[in-house]
Structure 1
Amino acid sequence: MTDSVQLTDALDRRVERRDERREFFKAAFGMGALAVGGAATLGFAKRADAQTATITDPDILNFALQLEYLEAQFYLYATTGQGLAANLLTGTGTQGQVVTGTGANMARAVNFGGDTVVQAYAREIAADELAHVTFLRSAGALGSAAVAQPTINISGGLDGPFTAAARAAGVIPAGNTTTPFDPYADANSFLLGAYIFEDVGVTAYKGASPLITNKTFLQAAAGILAVEAYHAAIVRTTLYARGVATPALRTNADLISNARDSLDGATRDLDQGISPTTVGGALVSNIVPLDTDGLAFSRTPSQVLNIVYLNAAAATMGGFFPNGLNGALRASVTAS
Structure 2
Amino acid sequence: MALNICSITTTSIIVLLASFFIILRATPTQEPESPDIDLLEFPLNLEYLEAEFFLFGSLGHGLDVVAPGLAHGGHPPIGARLAKLGFLVKDIILQFGLQEVGHLRAIKSRVRGFPRPLLNLSSAAFGQVMDNAFGRPLHPHFDPYANEINYLLASYVIPYIGLTGYVGTNPELQHATSKKLVAGLLGVEAGQDAVIRALLYERRAQIVHPYGVTVAEFTNRISILRNRLGNTGLKDEGLVVPILQGSEGRVSGNILSADKDSLSYSRTPAEILRILYGGGDEHVPGGFYPNGGDGHIARSYLNN
The reply to whether TM is greater than 0.5 is yes
Match of 2:191 in 1: 230
Note the C-alpha offset of 1:294.
Answer: 2.1
User: Structure 1 residues 330, 121: CA separation in 2 closer, same or farther (over 3 Å shift)?
Assistant: same
Match of 1:88 in 2: 70
Residue pair 1:316, 1:331 contacting (<8 A) in 2 also: no
Note the C-alpha offset of 1:215.
Answer: 1.0
Corresponding letter in the other structure for 2:95 = E
Residue pair 1:96, 1:150 contacting (<8 A) in 2 also: yes
Note the C-alpha offset of 1:284.
Answer: 3.9
Deviations 1:309-330 (A, max 9, x none): 0011342421111101222111
User: Structure 1 residues 116, 217: CA separation in 2 closer, same or farther (over 3 Å shift)?
Assistant: same
In the alignment, does 2:301 pair up with 1:323? no
Q: TM-score, structure 1 length as denominator?
A: 0.72
In the alignment, does 2:146 pair up with 1:182? no
In the alignment, does 2:229 pair up with 1:250? no
Q: Secondary structure at the match of 2:43?
A: helix
Q: Which runs of 5+ in 1 are unaligned?
A: 1-53, 101-106
Match of 1:47 in 2: none
Note the C-alpha offset of 1:331.
Answer: 5.6
Q: In 2, Cα distance between the equivalents of 1:133 and 1:119?
A: 21
In the alignment, does 2:202 pair up with 1:241? yes
Deviations 1:147-181 (A, max 9, x none): 1111111011xxx32111111111xx7255x6322
Match of 2:40 in 1: 61
Of 112, 130, 141, the residue aligned with 2:101 is 130
Q: Which runs of 5+ in 2 are unaligned?
A: 1-32, 208-212
Corresponding letter in the other structure for 1:254 = N
Q: Calculate the aligned-residue CA RMSD, in Å.
A: 2.3
In our comparison, the structure showing a higher alpha carbon Rg is: 2
Match of 1:195 in 2: 156
Of 244, 263, 270, the residue aligned with 1:302 is 270
Corresponding letter in the other structure for 1:80 = L
Match of 1:79 in 2: 58
Equivalent residue pairs, number: 258
More helix by share: 2
Q: Secondary structure at the match of 1:329?
A: helix
Counting only pairs closer than 5 Å after superposition, residues 215-294 of structure 1 correspond to structure 2 as: 215-246=176-207, 248-266=214-232, 268-278=233-243, 283-294=251-262
Corresponding letter in the other structure for 1:325 = G
Relative contact order (C-alpha < 8 Å, sep 6+): which is higher?
A: 1
Corresponding letter in the other structure for 2:298 = R
Residue pair 2:63, 2:71 contacting (<8 A) in 1 also: yes
User: Structure 1 residues 163, 175: CA separation in 2 closer, same or farther (over 3 Å shift)?
Assistant: closer
Match of 1:152 in 2: 119
User: Structure 1 residues 313, 332: CA separation in 2 closer, same or farther (over 3 Å shift)?
Assistant: farther
Q: In 2, Cα distance between the equivalents of 1:276 and 1:166?
A: 19
Moved over 6 A (4+): 279-282
